[in-house]
Structure 1
Amino acid sequence: MIFDRIRLTNFKPYGDADLRLTDGVTVIHGLNGSGKSSLLEACFFALYGSKALSGTLDDVITNGEEESEVELWFTHDGASYRVERRLRDYGDRVDHQCTLEATDGSDVSRDGARAVREFVTELLRMDAEAFVNCAYVRQGEVNKLINASPRERQDTIDDLLQLGKLEEYRERAGNARLGVEDVLENRRGRLDQLDDQIAEKEEKDLHDRLNGLESDLSAVADEIDRYETQREQAKETREAAAETLSTHAAKREELESVAAEIDEIEAAIRTAERERDAHRDAVREARERIEEIEAAIDDRLDDAGLDAASDEAVAARREELDDRESEVREELDDERVSAEAFRNQATNLAGKADDRADRAAEVESAAEGLADEAEAAADEADDRESSIQELGEEAERLRERFAAADADVGRDGVADEREALRERRGEVRERIAELSAELKNARERVAEAEELLAAGKCPECGQPVEDSPHASGVGEDRERVTELEAELEDAREREDDLDDRIGVLNGLASAADRLDDIDETVETLEDRLEEKRAEAERKREAAGEKRERAAELREEAEETREIAAQKREEAEEAAARVEDLEDALAAVEAAREAVDAVDERLSAIADAEDEIERRREKRESLNEVNDERRDRLGDKRERRDEIADALDETAIDEARGKKERAEEYLEKVDGELDRLADRRTELENAIGGVNGEIRELENRRAERDELAETVAALEDLHGETSELEAMYGDLRAELRQRNVAELERTLNETFELVYGNDAYSHIELDGEYVLTVYQKDGEALDPEQLSGGERALFNLSLRCAIYRLLSEGIEGAAPTPPLILDEPTVFLDSGHVSRLVRLVEEMRGFGVRQILIVSHDDELVGAADELVTVEKEPRSNRSTVRREDAAELDIATLTDD
């Protein structure tokens, strides 16, 4: 997988950023807090959405913005894709829209955050957590795997290598086996229960019991039919009597209803009459209000500027006032702008005049200062001229010393002559030392010979003198002592002579050095003398120019003050015109208020007239309604008289007696029928129960046969699930062992690259992913015992080894994401950083196409193919990115960051 391009809008510190990425090593470089890590987080967020965030969605939207957008173009396994995520903050919620589509012409597309995340997870064969554990070493998490427990490390690596699926399948098979066991035991228990129930049912002789119950039910049914026939005849008699009574009651109720309606109609007629009177009074009051309003309108016509009160006149007057207001406001705005402009101009000009006066004072002060500096430079030139004269006199005295000295050497040869004499003195002193040593030895020989002679022995061989052939040797030694003493005396005289001559030359050499110093000092003083005289002249001229400039500035200041005074007068005139126009605008407003008052009163008159018309219509309507009510009242009174004549009390008493006798019989027969019905129900229930037991017996026999087949099938299924569970467990163990061997191989290859020349020999990884580091002396170490830098580099090696294993695969290569390292050098010193650089280069050699690193370390920057520089603008607090060719960069310029 390769990241091709990332584009951000309002994502964290980025307002607008667009970055293209290529194969190779890309280092993202910048100051702390500039937004380097946010680029990698944006890529991670584009792939996995909210699952890639440690916070909430609204955390990624730039402060002060409502929308954010992230687009990522990437290539995976030969196919190209583009994923886009848009966020919008509505205050109480954040809307998240996401799409993914292929950009190589295929019809692959996904819509929705979950659908895109699931597609990416399936495409990479890893979810967000696996992505972080495999390819994305986030800032501060470099030690994540080494700090994990062996179980956590095992689960993490197993999930990355897809072994978690096998464990999931094994657990599913195990759960299925347990489920089959539960069902099998349940079915076996049910089968035993059915055998007991069938035996119990067969002992009850259910068919004989059924025949006896059916005979009893037939006899009860015949008796019920007889009672029901007699009951129907009694019901007919009761219903006929009830109908007669009901008709009488209905007429009685109708009579009462008609009487009530007559009372209601009479009351309604009286209420309507009262309403008619109220409407008449309201019409009279409305007419009085109209007269009062018309009088008020006449009082306001002059204020409103109206000759007569009408809607047309009001509209025309309003239009006239609007035009006048628009004209006055336009003129007023112009005058206000003019007044403000004049005031500003006057203020600005006055300020400029003050500035120029201040500048004139400053220039005059500078002129005085330059004049003082010119005089000081002239004085300093005079002092230096005096110093030159004094030095010349001293030089003349020193030259006289050379002429007076008894030395055949000039000023330039003093140093060489002194050096030659010092060398000769050194030679003489060496000769004095040799002669002194030789004289000492000769004297010792003479003294020893004299002692031997005094003892009667030869000084050379120690034999008696009378027998020695060398008796004359002591005399030669005495002569040699004399010669050496004379030669030593002569050498010492020469040394004293050389010391005196060197002393004279030392004085002359000091005089020569002093003459050299004087010559150099005089030359410097002469140069500075001319400089000071020229400086004094320049400063006198500059002082004159500044005095002239000060006079010009004063004239300009006075002219500017006069113009400012003129602008103040123009501002006051404009302000007076503004007051006049504001008065005119107030007059327009007063006239408009009067017009509005007239318009409101006209509206009130219209409302009152409408009210009068409505109340007249209501009075007429009430008259019509009362006429209709009086007609209905006459009809109701006629109906009341007809119903009163139709009521027959004798027929009512006879019908009442028949009804009572029929009800007494029905009460008795109903009790008997209830008893018989209960008996019939009892028998039917008993028959139903027997039939149910017979059906239950047959069903249980069928159920037993079916259950026996099910138990046999479950026993076979239980064996299959047990075999499947064992197979997944064995397969996972086998694959884990192969993964452990491969991971140990890749880890040791990486370890050899990083630590090959160190005190460590190799790493062992057991089946539970427990890591052990071995020193070259054979001592085993837990990775936690390594130093901080070594532990961090060890973890990077482990992460790279896992990445290689995933990339190379167990059975062949598999496409993997870019290798991403966010600030991997936090815990590394310079030596460890060099090893990290080698590790990065080696990962490229293993075929990792794209490596993205966030770092400001110079070595990593130097190892980059491309450099992405991130900068944050201090005022807007927004980050920007630019991509550069690392081969063309000057590393020294980067360290300044």
Structure 2
Amino acid sequence: MRFDRIRLRNFKPYADTDLRLSDGVTVIHGLNGSGKSSLLEACFFALYGSKGLDGTLEDVVTNGAEEAEVELSFSHKGDAYHIRRDLKRYGDQIQTTACTLEAEDGDLARDGATEVRAFVTDLLRMDAEAFVNCAYVRQGEVNKLINATPTGRQDMIDDLLQLGRLEEYRERAADARLGVEDVLGEKRGALSSVAEQLDEKEEKDLHERLNGLQSELRELDEKVENYEEQRAKAESTRDDAREILEEFEERRDELESIEADIDELESDVREAESEREEFGTQVAETRDELSNLRERLDERLAEMELDGASADEIEARRCALDDREGELREERDEVRSETTAFENQSENLESSADEYAERAETNRKTAADLEVEIESARETLADREDSLTELEAERAEREAEFEDAPVSVGEAAAHRDDLRERLEALRDEKTELTAELSTVRASVEEAEALLDEGKCPECGQPVEDSPHVDTLAADRERVAELEDELAELREREDEREDDLDRAEALLTAQNRLDELESTRSLVEDGIDEKRSEIEAKEGRIESLREEAEELEQEAAEKREIAERKAEQAGEARERAEEIESGLAELDEARDRIDAVESTAEAIEDAETRIERLEERRSDLAERNDERREFLSEKRDRRDELRDAFDEEQVETARQRHSNAEEYVEQVSETLASLAEERDELTSAIGATERELEELEELRDRHEHLSARVEALESVHEESEELETMYGDLRAELRRRNVESLERMLNETFELIYANDAYSHIELDGEYALTVYQKDGEPLDPEQLSGGERALFNLSLRCAIYRLLAEGIEGAAPTPPLILDEPTVFLDSGHVSRLVDLVGEMRGFGVRQILIVSHDDELVGAADDLVRVEKNPTTNRSSVERTDAASLADLDAFADD
């Protein structure tokens, strides 16, 4: 596997960074706190999300930013992949808004943080923890493996080498064996129970019992058949007698119905005659009412001076009244319109007069207000003229500050920025000198300690001719030189800081001059504005007062005209009242016409009612004649039915029906008893047949359970063998891994460790480590010195990395080897051995090695160099990559 490209936006100190990575050794260097480790952490976060962070998502997004984005392109087993993770701030929380993984050939796509992390874990055959234990040596965790307990170290390495899967398989086989044991015990119990039931059923001799019950059922069926034949004959006799009785009942019902019909017809005839007489009375009364109406009509016609009450005559009189009414209403509407017009004109003129008066008063009041405003404006004008004088005086004072300054007005900002850059350069140079002085002092102190001891406290060898002692004098001279240079730099830094303070003061003065110029311009504009305002308001006062006098004169004229219009409206209102009286007289005449019309209609209604009553009397007479004919027919049928009754035949039919009904009842009781007996026999036969079926089912179940128990016994034996096999295989593979890891660890440690004090390293089956001295004395790795312990741990990490790569025979290429600040616990001599270790890993075929360090020796061993810098103003980091060719050119330039 290889990282190809990492792109960041608002990730920790990186605002917008795009870095391409290649094969070989890449060293990422820069000052402490510049963000070197954040680059590696971004790669790890892209692969595993929040599982790859020491902190939380809140620590990832750059301070002040609302969104962040991380993209990683990597290659694995010849295929290229691209991961993208987007983050967004919601209040106090950071959430992942998008997470995708795609193959560049387009055949693969994953969406969602959980799905992407699962795919990466499956692809690399390691989760985030395994990745850290195998390939990613984080800053401060170089001693993680050696400080771990043997059990913890065992779990880490077993998990990397997939041995945990074998233990998982063994546990699954054990669980399967226990499950089979449970099922086998259950099936054996079921088989024993079925065998007992089968013996119990076979002792009952069910086939013989079934034959006896079936014989009893046949005899019973013959008895039932005989009784049913006798019952059928009795039922036939009963039905014949019932028909005779039913016919008698029908005739008697018909006779009763006919007699009822006769009574009803006789009653209807009597009621119709009574109603006919009543209609005759109503005809006489209506004729009297008609005579009175005709007399009243003659009186009303004479009153209206009409010759007749025909519809044409009434309509003609109404038309004449309507025409007169139309004329009066038209005249009334004209008078009313005239009245309204005069009233409206009077009101409008009064309103206009009031409005003119109000406007005149408003103008006079506005003029008074403007006089007050003019006085206030004159005071403001005086204040602004005083302010302008003060601004001019302060401007002269600020310009005087630049008379003996190294720059002119307008150049203060550039001068200040130049001094800042020069001061920052001095501080960087001081930081580098301080770091170098600290390193040289540490070397001097170490050499002086060796001289005081007389021999090396670590290996016990004499210190004569030791390289640490030989360079002591030169180192002491270098310390003195560096201290002098550092003191000189501090003096220059103080001078630069004083110059910068002076430049800041000049920039403040320049900014104040800009503010004064802007303020002076505003004040001058304000003075001109106030002067114009005063002139305009004075002219406005004179205009308002002239307009007020004109408005008052106009109001008086409009009130005179309004009084004349009100008098004209009163005259028109009197004419309208006269017209209303004429309209009321027309309404009375129309009421009299309506009375004539209603009387004529009442006469017509009375004549119609008389005619209708006569028709109804005639209809009743005809209907009574029909009823009398129908009554005669009913009486003849009644006499026929009375002659048709034979009482003796009816009595005989009743006796035969009673005897047959009694016999059928007795036979039915006997058949019911026999049916109960038959049901009992049928139930017994069914129960016996079911028991026979159960016997066959028990035999089948016994056979099935026997076969099942036999199969489960075979599976149980196989699961025991499988459980043992996985356990033995895990132990054997661990033994082989321990042997290989021990061999590789000794090869690596022997290659890079030049101290002859140690002979070899042993690793037991539980991954416990022991270091042996030349004299055979065993040591715990924690007894080594700090640098040796760190180097030992790196050797162990590299050996595990080699074992993982070789053990899976290239089936899953390992990720890049990542070392984050591996020199923290190493002195200069141990750093050289670390360089040898890196070269050794390259020799073993490690495709990509990424190292975070500011050590010059590691920088010199790099194929590619990535420099990380942080802008002190924006607090944002940036990267610059230099390839191997550029590094070679730099080395050549340094040699020249």
Q: TM (normalized to structure 1)? A: 0.49
Q: TM (normalized to structure 2)? A: 0.49
